[in-house]
Structure 1
């Protein structure tokens, strides 16, 4: 499956935040969206997941224009930057089941999906816990599980490690890498670049425009000042280069 942006523009009031963006995303791959604050990254993810509609242009699923925004929302799950904003249940398992109940899923199927999603993120032993008592890393994993249970083809993650300690950041990135291996498409926005691994394609947004699309190594070669130092090291390591 693939999701495509075709000449997409978006504005808040009179300010254009995205300008003529055309991109294509395939499941089973991980995409890193880079850019300064205010470059349009979060807006991009919200359009990708059907939360916002383009001001101009089209979103396509397998080359067919999206007519119903709910079709896009079923295919692309959005994980917010602040996981507590997604918590709605009084227990972990109720939180994951909430959206499934709204979808009208049969109870047997719902229980199956909840148990599977919690096992993927390592929260099976916490299913009876109050979500508000979880650690920051556990809340982020719960947010991912709640989206996973709806069985999307893609996950759009907005700064999923921003408020976590180093160990929790590593745990979340391991979950994300596992989901990619399972065939999910991952669209990732993060400033914690030292934890990034397994990126298939990097996309650089500048003032709402796509100024680069390609591998991290090529971005490093062509635009070295646009990548933070930790990511430079990661790029070299992934490409088998020696770091002095």
Structure 2
């Protein structure tokens, strides 16, 4: 696919012009193709800039109309519609993006510095090292199977927090977000709270739970941490209405 075709496909995705099957296939590509994901992000930023410009132009037009004979509320509506139509956009009542689509564009695994594991009981230390080794090789299925077969849930509190995050990520990578969510919820008051909150936001987006995703956005914003900027933009996408 050449550059022009790719740009056209990205615009079709953003403008909701794909069929359900095409949109599903494109979202799946976003999960694995980092270059495509970056290009979609850049295009979304460009659209955001166009909307900000449109809003400024609408306000300027409304200010210029003051003192005329047209009733203020008519002038306001006319100016906004005129500017939005001028850039080919108009606001509707449905959301522009599904949380899953935003997840596909923005999900990334945080860098987690692993704990050394000193002071662990022998059995826990053995499992801990197996999980670390598998995680470093991106063998997420191995981690998920080990967790389930050995009933590690009953011993979870004895593992380092970093290892618990590895287990959570392994479930996410296995598309088992519902199993990752309770693990992550137990970690939001630990030293890895920022990573846990970010992964929870990703889980809620992947499971298409817009309300819980927005609640997690507010929590991350209140903490003003390392994911603040990215989360603020995700919030805009979660709230953005469909333009048509």
Q: What is the TM-score of this pair, normalised by structure 2?
A: 0.26
Max Rg structure? 2
Q: Given the two structures, how large is their TM-score scaled by the length of structure 1? A: 0.26
